[in-house]
Amino acid sequence: MGLFTPAWKSKDKKKAIEAVEKLTDQSVLKKVALNDSHKIVRRTAVGNITNQPFLKEVALNDSHLDVCLVSVNNITDQSFLKEIALKASHIDVCLFAVRKITEQSILAELALTRERSLVFLLKKMQDGKKVKMQDLVTASAQKLIELYSLSPKGEGFLTDSNAVEPVRAVGKLLNNTGGFQLMLHTHGQFAASYSVYGAARNLEMVWDGIGSWRG
């Protein structure tokens, strides 16, 4: 590290984190949050940021789940939380945003517009309410289609770890809720609904190792 290089730019991750923890300049924290190669350093920076529009963009666009969650944790703007609940690719980010919404009018609006979406079925389950398994299968398959549609040119093959993570999160959710059979039913509905060549086979491989699933 050069003589005048800021400590937060240190290649030593521990030193960089310690330096970021002491930062108060929001513009510098934003630079770190956007550009640092270490997710834990970015996460530390995000934890000290208060700018709500910036935090929303991080929650929607950062490639690592834990950075997104820290960002959502710092958001109090209800309209931004609503947008994240509707648009975030990772189901855990969506659900966390919903959990932070306190305005009943927004919750009611979301429930009307996405009453059968995966995130709201999950919320119902966490609230101790009954959910039909077929509704969960349908919502999960729709979420998977949404995620696969984001792949480059929509070719149906996910190989990048950042793209795979949200898809595996859906698989883990299904396994924790209903095991292999629920995963199998969801895969079947995904295959029937999403006709892009190779996508169903790719999903089998992406889910490999979740519970008893073998791709």
206 close to 164: Cβ distance less than 8 angstroms: yes
81 and 171 co-located in one domain: no
Residue 153 banded pLDDT, cuts 50, 70, 90: low
60 and 88 co-located in one domain: yes
137 and 198 co-located in one domain: yes
CB under 8 A, 24+ apart: contacts of 110-113: 110/82, 110/85, 110/86
pTM beyond 0.85: no
107 and 17 co-located in one domain: yes
Residue 87 banded pLDDT, cuts 50, 70, 90: confident
Kindly state whether residue 124 falls inside one of the protein's structural domains. Answer: no
H helix intervals, the chain: 13-22, 26-35, 39-47, 52-61, 65-73, 78-87, 91-100, 104-113, 118-126, 133-149, 161-193, 199-206
pLDDT digits (tens, 9 = 90+) for 40-85: 999 999 999 999 999 999 999 998 999 999 999 999 999 999 999 8
Identity of residue 164: V
Spell out the SS3 assignment of 9-30. HCCCHHHHHHHHHHCCCHHHHH
Given 115, 146, 163, which residue is the final one in a domain?
A: 115
Residue 39: domain span:
7-115
111 and 31 co-located in one domain: yes
Kindly state whether residue 126 falls inside one of the protein's structural domains. Answer: no
